[in-house]
Amino acid sequence: MREADGIGGVQSLNAELNTDYSAEEIGDVEHFYVAALLGTLGGPAGGVMLNAVGDGIWEMVIGPIRIAWGCTLKYGAKRGAKATLKSVKDNWQQLTGPDWAGTRFGSFYVFNEVAEELSYWLKVRVSYYSSQLRREAREMLRWLESAG
pLDDT digits (tens, 9 = 90+) for 21-35: 888 888 899 899 999
Q: Are 57 and 22 members of one domain?
A: yes
34, HSE (Cβ side, Cα atoms, 13 Å)? 18
pLDDT at 131: 81
Q: Are 82 and 128 members of one domain?
A: no
pLDDT digits (tens, 9 = 90+) for 40-66: 888 888 888 888 888 889 889 998 999
Q: Are 87 and 117 members of one domain?
A: no
Domain ranges, residue 97: 2-107
Number of domains forming the structure of the chain: 2
**148 — pLDDT class (breaks 50, 70, 90):** low
List, as one string, the DSSP characters of 27-83.
Answer: HHHHHHHHHHHHHHHHHHHHHHHHHHHHHHHIIIIIHHHHHHHHHHHHH-HHHHHHH
d(CA 126, CA 44): 30
pLDDT at 32: 92
